[in-house]
């Protein structure tokens, strides 16, 4: 087959003429590695942005098809490359032989031997010894299946088609169907609960066969009723029996609608009037050819062209057509509405994933469709009252964190989608960014936005994602979102709103901890967590506390709107480049390691940070490494979940040599193209973007020169006009880096610095210890210059009664890094009552700069005692108030002890209790502060409290099952001993049988706090007592290393 053609003159690189020929829908249908697992692309046919994705579902896949499975459950109507269970509605399964006793659970074996997938067509054989060949094709709203059964034996009628009406991947709340006459089945299914968010949608369908069935029946999920015409149950379904003695192939047309069964039938009449699978297949193939020809590449290897066009194909699957052929659709208010002629309502926006790379690509290539996508979001907001986050069908889900359809629509606008109601969009964007619906159970666009407006950051205790508290990542995403609102407001002529949200776009600064150089979560009191910015997440968790699906090292680069300001805040180019070099020593590390995670959207833009650092050759190197080592033309050929085209679109940009730098703007940053020639059709202007790079190949990633429309271009970004007006780019590439190209002061992509703070400041540790009348505690106040010119900052401390503060109050900022510190000593008078004290700190700069305020906590307690030692060892917050359960996370899943339930069981913060002949103090830090030590080798120096002590117990519990370790005891004479540090699980010790390891129950509470309310009872234990030998005084206790062992207190007697 010839798929290349000459274009624009002899001697030029031939451009692909039939891009659909290179599409392999089986790419990305397998596993993306250990970090995420499934990629979740589907191999079945669909039209561009179609309502229907007619595709097989395999056993063991939550999103539909898993290449490495060996059994098919059915061929269902809708799919998406999601990260949660979704869609897979109304599977059809052809089988030979008896229906069986439980057809709703039936599967059929298959292999890949004769499986075939292409744009608009899929075929596979199922059934083992009784093979059935299935062929599928689809239009926008309708599918056509041809089931070829094995030859009938003895005139038997053994061909069955099972219609699993309630077989949705997420299960169905209700389903009904009706068999009409001898050729038709229709029905509806209500399902949803995407990622556990409680949303619902109802899908209606109609199926027509090309020949009469000779028998039928239905089922309800418990039994099969022969001859029945209807079923109404969550697992409702039907079987249809065909006589194949005079023809082995049975064809079925199936159509869908979110309006009604009549709508589905009308869609079928409009899009599928005939029965020719070949004709429909050819028409859909032609649609894909026209869509994929928006980008024509020349040169490259066959595999590279195959990958490029398959990933572009995946990039044009979602969002999905939601209206019927007559323009009707069901709105967010559950009312039937009708679109103006020529427009489409779209649904299923995976915004957190797709705003970064997919939305700009779609708007640049398809501005008309992208305009309708934007208007669809406006419709959703107008009908539902709030701007949607991750909308599925006609419902809110609020999935993921951030308000990410905001930068999505802003990028659609920036890249050419202008035909939508901008003023209405802006109205709802501002509403969601400034207010919240307090109705119980109501959708929350920005949960916690009121405290965010007050503090300038998201309180880590108040916002939670699917895996952990997410205060830092929410702050970063909302800063991007607000910057995007500012861009739209400016476009709409609303200068006041633009100014307000421009300032809010710099709120990322409020979580930059100068003590660590990391963007870090903060509590309601303004304090950062003690310790390093990146800390390895506990075993069994998916990311670091404060971050959604990632960690501080990965999120630390998520300031695309002001990368230059971020670099300055990190100590300048040299310091930032060193950290970035370390970051790229791994390319797909997963959520818990401090390295690049190419399979997750947060890190999509990080390779281009080098363009801001004056080292663009490293951008070119790492983009090419990722594209050539983590992507491949195989089922396992993506580094993570495709997320409705997000991952695929990243590859498309990587191959083009361009990347959208800043959400909400048309800023394109540059690396190197993979192909010698690329021609982009820009329908918004009727012009082309012509990219030429003679010699481009996988092994020549380095740019040695670039010309834009014939003139030398020594910058790593392009003018915004290129997005709409096109132009010509001529790259000079080589196999070795050019460390001088585009490294000048003006070569970096734009950073938007209006509204920056002049400086940042923080204090460490967040909790100092001072002994009454004795040794004082030390506080280090860290300063970092940002947008200002200050050389010296001044610290003011307002000490409460009983405390005094001394030391040099000046922070001298170094000329190069802009950082500096001041050391303060906090002392407590002899009569100061032990406990926790707040120490307000204010750091001021020169005239016209805003001061930075924070609060340190001072623990007044004897030095060398149990309370002080434990306070220094605490790592997590395991106790939370019933009214604010988010302030605690004991097990990494958001569950915690209830402060009120503990008090009812006798454990009150700061008060002494007795157990096993010892006395211990239950911790009582301020709300949200650490109160337990996850065992990580900490040494507790406690000699001040152990004179005369003859017995020791440790008080705590285990998470994620029973856990046993060994603590090391050191005595004042230098000798050591060992004792068990072993606790039963806090919820089900001994697997539910009761205390283990000789534990004593200190308390049992009637419930624990969960992210969704009250949970099961939980325990606090004391270890088996250790008897201290006569003549020995205990000096210290060293904990083992097992993060599932948690110590709250230590008892001596």
Instruction: Output the DSSP codes for 1013-1024.
Output: EE---EEEEEPP
The one-character DSSP state at 247 is: -
The one-character DSSP state at 990 is: G
> Is the previous residue joined to 441 through a cis bond, with omega within 30 degrees of 0?
no
> Residue 551 phi/psi, 5° resolution?
-140, 180
- Please work out, in degrees rounded to the nearest 5, the angle formed at the alpha carbon of residue 742 by the alpha carbons of 736 and 748: 130
Distances (CA, A) of 393 to 81, 193, 258, 491: 15, 12, 8, 29
Averaged pLDDT of the chain:
95
> Alpha-carbon distance 1016 to 960, whole Å?
15
Distances (CA, A) of 111 to 151, 159, 283, 633: 21, 21, 28, 19
> Alpha-carbon distance 773 to 860, whole Å?
10
Strands 668-670 and 717-718, bridge-based pairing: antiparallel
The DSSP code sequence of 925-938 is PSTTS--BEEEES-
Can you give the pLDDT at residue 157? 62
> Alpha-carbon distance 694 to 734, whole Å?
10
Q: What is the pTM of this model?
A: 0.91
Residue 20, helix vs strand vs coil = helix
- Given a cut of 50, the residues of the chain with pLDDT beneath it are 1-10
287-302: buried (b, 16+ CB within 10 Å) or exposed (e) per residue? bbbebbbbbbbbbbee
Decide if 194 contacts 86 (C-beta within 8 A): yes
Decide if 170 contacts 190 (C-beta within 8 A): no
The one-character DSSP state at 21 is: G
Decide if 981 contacts 965 (C-beta within 8 A): yes
Decide if 448 contacts 465 (C-beta within 8 A): no
> Alpha-carbon distance 893 to 540, whole Å?
9
Beta strands in 77-226 (DSSP E): 92-96, 108-109, 116-118, 121-126, 132-138, 142-148, 159-163, 174-180, 184-192, 200-209, 215-219, 224-226
> Alpha-carbon distance 817 to 898, whole Å?
44
Can you give the pLDDT at residue 156? 59
CA-based radius of gyration for the chain: 32
> Alpha-carbon distance 44 to 119, whole Å?
8
Count CB-CB contacts under 10 A for residue 698.
Answer: 13
The DSSP code sequence of 22-88 is G--TTTTSSB--TTT-B-----S-B-TT-S-B-EEEETT-SSS--TT--EEEEEES-----SS----
| Nearest CA-CA partner of 456 in 867, 825, 23, 757 | 757
> Alpha-carbon distance 593 to 637, whole Å?
22
By residue count, the chain amounts to 1053
Task: For CA atoms 646, 651, 655, 657, give the dihedral sign.
Answer: positive
> Which helix (H) or strand (E) element contains residue 452?
helix 449-455
> Alpha-carbon distance 521 to 547, whole Å?
8
- Between the two ends of the chain, the Cα-to-Cα distance in Å is 87
Can you give the pLDDT at residue 462? 81
Can you give the pLDDT at residue 272? 97
Side-chain-side CA neighbours of residue 428 (13 Å): 24
Count CB-CB contacts under 10 A for residue 60.
Answer: 11
> Residue 215 phi/psi, 5° resolution?
-160, 160
How remote is the C-alpha of 915 from its chain's centroid? 45
> Alpha-carbon distance 891 to 878, whole Å?
8
The one-character DSSP state at 244 is: -
Orientation angle between helical segments 495-504 and 422-434, nearest 10 degrees: 40
> Which helix (H) or strand (E) element contains residue 298?
strand 295-298
């Amino acid at each position: 087959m010839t798929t290349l053609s000459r274009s624009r003159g002899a001697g030029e690189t031939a451009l692909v003429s039939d891009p659909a020929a290179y599409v392999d829908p089986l790419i990305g249908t397998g596993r993306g590695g250990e970090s995420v697992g499934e990629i979740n692309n589907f191999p079945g046919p669909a039209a561009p942005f179609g309502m229907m994705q007619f595709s097989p579902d395999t056993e063991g896949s939550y999103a539909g098809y898993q290449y490495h499975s060996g059994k098919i459950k059915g061929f269902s109507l809708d799919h998406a490359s999601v990260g949660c269970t979704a869609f897979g509605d109304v599977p059809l399964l052809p089988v030979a032989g008896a229906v069986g006793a439980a057809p709703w659970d039936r599967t059929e074996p298959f292999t890949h031997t004769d499986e075939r997938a292409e744009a608009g067509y899929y075929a596979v054989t199922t059934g083992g010894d009784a093979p059935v060949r299935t062929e599928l094709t689809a239009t926008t709203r309708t599918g056509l299946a041809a089931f070829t059964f094995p030859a009938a034996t003895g005139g038997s009628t053994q061909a069955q088609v099972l219609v699993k009406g309630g077989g949705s991947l997420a299960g169905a709340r209700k389903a009904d169907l009706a068999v009409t006459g001898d050729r038709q089945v229709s029905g509806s299914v209500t399902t949803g609960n995407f990622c556990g968010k409680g949303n619902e949608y109802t899908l209606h369908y109609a199926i027509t066969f090309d020949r009469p069935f000779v028998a039928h029946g239905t089922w309800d999920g418990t039994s099969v009723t022969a001859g029945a015409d209807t079923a109404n149950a969550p697992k409702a379904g039907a079987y249809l029996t065909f006589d194949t003695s005079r023809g082995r192939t049975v064809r079925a047309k199936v159509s869908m609608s979110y309006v009604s069964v009549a709508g589905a039938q009308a869609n079928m009449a409009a899009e599928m009037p005939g029965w020719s699978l070949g004709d429909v297949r050819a028409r859909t193939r032609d649609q894909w050819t026209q869509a994929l020809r928006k980008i024509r590449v020349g040169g490259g290897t066959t595999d590279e062209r195959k990958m490029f066009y398959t990933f572009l194909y995946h990039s044009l699957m979602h969002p999905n057509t939601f209206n019927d052929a007559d323009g009707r659709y069901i709105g967010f208010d559950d009312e039937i509405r009708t679109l103006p002629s020529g427009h489409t309502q779209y649904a299923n926006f995976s915004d957190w994933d797709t705003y970064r790379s997919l939305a700009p690509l779609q708007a640049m290539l398809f501005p008309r469709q992208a305009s309708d996508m934007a208007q669809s979001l406006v419709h959703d907001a107008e009908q539902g009252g709030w701007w949607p986050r991750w909308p599925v069908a006609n419902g809110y889900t609020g999935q993921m964190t951030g308000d990410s359809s905001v930068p999505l629509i802003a990028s659609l606008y920036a890249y050419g989608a202008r035909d939508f109601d901008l003023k209405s969009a802006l109205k709802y964007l501002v509403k969601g960014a400034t207010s919240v619906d307090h109705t119980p159970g109501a959708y929350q666009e920005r949960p916690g936005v009121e405290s965010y407006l007050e503090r300038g950051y998201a309180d880590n205790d108040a916002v939670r994602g699917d895996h952990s508290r997410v205060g830092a990542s929410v702050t970063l995403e909302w800063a991007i979102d607000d910057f995007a609102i500012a861009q739209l407001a400016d476009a709409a002529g609303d200068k006041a709103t633009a100014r307000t949200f421009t300032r809010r776009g710099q709120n990322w600064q409020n979580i930059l901890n100068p003590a660590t150089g990391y963007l870090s979560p903060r509590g309601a009191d303004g304090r950062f967590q003690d310790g390093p910015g990146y800390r390895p997440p506990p075993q069994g968790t998916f990311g670091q506390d404060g971050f959604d699906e990632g960690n501080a090292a990965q999120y630390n680069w998520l300031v695309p709107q002001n990368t230059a300001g971020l670099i300055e805040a990190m100590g300048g180019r040299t310091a930032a480049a060193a950290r970035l070099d370390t970051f790229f020593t791994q390319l797909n590390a997963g959520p818990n390691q401090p390295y690049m995670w190419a399979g997750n959207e947060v890190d999509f833009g990080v390779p281009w940070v080098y363009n801001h650092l004056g080292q663009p050759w490293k951008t070119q190197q790492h983009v090419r490494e990722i594209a050539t080592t983590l992507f491949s033309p195989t089922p396992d050929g993506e580094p993570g979940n495709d997320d409705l085209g997000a991952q695929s679109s990243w590859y498309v940009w990587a191959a083009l040599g361009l990347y959208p730098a800043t959400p909400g703007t048309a800023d394109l940053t540059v690396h190197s193209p993979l192909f010698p020639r690329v021609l982009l059709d820009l329908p918004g202007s009727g012009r082309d973007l012509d990219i030429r790079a003679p010699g481009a190949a996988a092994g020549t990633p380095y740019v040695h020169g670039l010309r834009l429309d014939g003139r030398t271009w020594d910058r790593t970004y392009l003018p915004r006009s290129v997005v709409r007006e096109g132009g010509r780019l001529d790259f000079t590439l080589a196999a070795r880096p050019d460390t001088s190209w585009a490294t000048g002061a003006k070569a970096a992509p734009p950073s938007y610095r209006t509204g920056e703070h002049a400086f940042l400041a923080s204090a460490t540790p967040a909790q100092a210890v001072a002994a009454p009348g004795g040794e004082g505690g030390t506080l280090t106040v860290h300063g970092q210059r940002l947008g200002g010119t200050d050389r010296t900052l001044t610290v003011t401390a307002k000490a409460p009664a009983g405390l005094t503060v001394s030391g040099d109050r000046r922070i001298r900022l170094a000329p190069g890094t802009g950082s500096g510190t001041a050391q303060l000593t906090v002392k407590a008078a002899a009569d100061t009552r032990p406990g926790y004290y707040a120490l307000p700190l204010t750091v001021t700069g020169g005239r016209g700069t805003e001061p930075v305020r924070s609060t340190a906590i001072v623990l007044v307690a004897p030095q060398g005692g149990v309370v002080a030692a434990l306070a220094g060892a605490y790592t997590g917050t395991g106790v939370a108030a019933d009214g604010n359960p988010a302030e605690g996370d004991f097990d990494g899943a958001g569950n915690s002890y209830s402060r009120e339930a503990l008090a009812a069981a006798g454990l009150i913060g700061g008060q002494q209790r007795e157990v096993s002949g010892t006395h211990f103090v239950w911790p009582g830090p301020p709300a949200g502060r650490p109160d337990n030590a996850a065992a990580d080798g900490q040494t507790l120096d406690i000699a001040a409290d152990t004179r005369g002590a003859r017995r020791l117990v440790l008080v705590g519990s285990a998470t994620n099952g029973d856990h046993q370790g060994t603590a090391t005891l050191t005595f004042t004479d230098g000798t050591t001993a060992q004792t068990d540090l072993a606790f039963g699980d806090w919820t089900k010790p001994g697997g539910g049988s009761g205390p283990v390891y000789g534990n004593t129950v200190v308390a049992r509470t009637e419930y624990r706090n969960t992210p969704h309310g009250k949970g099961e009872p939980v325990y606090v234990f004391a270890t088996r007592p250790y008897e201290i030998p006569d003549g020995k005084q205990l000096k210290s206790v060293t904990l083992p290393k097992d993060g599932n062992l948690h110590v709250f207190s230590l008892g001596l007697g």
